[in-house]
Amino acid sequence: MITKNRYLFLMVARGGSKSIKDKNLQAIGGKSLINWRATTAKASGCFDRFIISTDSEEIANEAKACGVEVPFVRPDELATDTASSLDVVLHALNWMQQNDGSSYDGVFLAEPSSPFCRVVDIRQGIKVFEASRAELVASVVQAKVNTIHISEMGSESDFSNVSKRIGLLPTGNRQQHQKQYYMNGCVYLFKPREMIENRSIFPVEGKTKVFEMPDYYSIEIDEPSELELARFYWETKKVNETSLLKR
């Protein structure tokens, strides 16, 4: 892929993980989650620089072994459960601007928890980004459950608002519903200038464009069951290195 724009691959990975110990260092197919994200990003040929924002020495060492720069240590206040992705990204961009004057047309925000992001997905994100005026390009996957079936649970386990919505349908068949999609965490590509001006990665007034990814590659690992499922996909060859690296 030939592009005149400059793109930064920015991986974010903190050391603390409550649901899965050392989550970002967990392995699938012999490679850590960090390694997979770095491997496909490098194979895409789309990025001018690869860096990681982390507070963990172990994660930093793993990233360096994968050819990713660790130009700074993430401050402790940005490595808590309550720290926002926006503040982490702003810190990284500010550090680079102040220390080496580098700037980019697009920033690709990568989380190790989405290890099955393929080369073709990265390149598709870049293609959509350059062909549109979108401030954010993201990957999505079709939702298995329509939002008509989803609600907060009321007092005393009340779920009447959902049953009412379903009851008003001619039938309860899911085939009646329009397809719905959600962001799967694999691709977040945004314009840094607009992000800084809006103080948000996700445009409120601006335009967001998306493209669809297959279900098998859209897994996002936050719980032990999701890590087990990702390993199952690998072991049963639903996902493999060839498919991840294919252009």
Q: Say how many domains are in the chain.
A: 2
Q: How far apart are CA 91 and CA 72, in angstroms?
A: 10
Residue 63 sits in the same domain as residue 121: yes
Q: Are 144 and 194 in contact (CB under 8 A)?
A: no
Residue 86 sits in the same domain as residue 119: yes
Mean predicted confidence (pLDDT) in 67-95? 94
Say if residue 160 is exposed, middle or buried (CB neighbours under 10 Å; 0-12, 13-18, 19+): exposed
Compute the mean pLDDT over every residue in the chain, rounded to the nearest whole number: 93
When pLDDT is cut at 50, 70 and 90, the band that residue 1 belongs to is low
Residue 165 sits in the same domain as residue 186: no
Mean predicted confidence (pLDDT) in 159-184? 82
Residue 95 sits in the same domain as residue 43: yes
Q: Specify the range with the lowest mean pLDDT, choosing from 36-45, 73-82, 106-115, 238-247.
A: 73-82
Residue 47: pLDDT over 80? yes
Mean predicted confidence (pLDDT) in 86-102? 94
Please indicate, yes or no, if residue 190 is contained in any of the structural domains.
Answer: yes
Residue 129 sits in the same domain as residue 28: yes
User: What are the distances in angstroms from CA 7 to CA 68, 180, 239?
Assistant: 14, 30, 27
Please indicate, yes or no, if residue 1 is contained in any of the structural domains.
Answer: no
Residue 66 sits in the same domain as residue 106: yes
Residue 59 sits in the same domain as residue 173: no
Structural domain harbouring 166: 144-178
State whether residue 115 is helix, strand or coil. coil
Long-range CB pairs of 142-148, under 8 A, 24+ apart, other chains included: 142/179, 142/180, 142/181, 142/212, 142/215, 143/179, 143/180, 143/181, 143/182, 146/174, 146/177, 146/178, 146/180, 147/180, 148/177
Residue 3: the pLDDT is 58
Residue 73 sits in the same domain as residue 28: yes
Residue 176: the pLDDT is 66
Residue 168: the pLDDT is 81
Residue 81: the pLDDT is 84
Residues 6+ apart with CB under 8 A from 174: 146
Residue 132: the pLDDT is 93
Residue 13 sits in the same domain as residue 74: yes
Q: What is the CATH number of the domain that holds 13?
A: 3.90.550.10
Residue 83: the pLDDT is 87
Please indicate, yes or no, if residue 2 is contained in any of the structural domains.
Answer: no
Mean predicted confidence (pLDDT) in 215-224? 97
Share of the chain above pLDDT 90, in %: 80
Domain final residue, candidates 154, 178, 202: 178
Residue 137 sits in the same domain as residue 193: yes
State whether residue 172 is helix, strand or coil. coil
Residue 95: pLDDT over 60? yes
Residue 66 sits in the same domain as residue 124: yes
Residue 152 sits in the same domain as residue 167: yes
Please indicate, yes or no, if residue 99 is contained in any of the structural domains.
Answer: yes
* Region for residue 42 given its phi and psi (left: phi exceeds 0; alpha: psi -120 to 50; beta: otherwise): alpha
Q: Specify the range with the lowest mean pLDDT, choosing from 63-67, 69-73, 110-114, 153-157.
A: 153-157
Q: How far apart are CA 170 and CA 176, in angstroms?
A: 9
Domain final residue, candidates 132, 156, 178: 178
When pLDDT is cut at 50, 70 and 90, the band that residue 35 belongs to is very high
Q: Are 114 and 184 in contact (CB under 8 A)?
A: yes
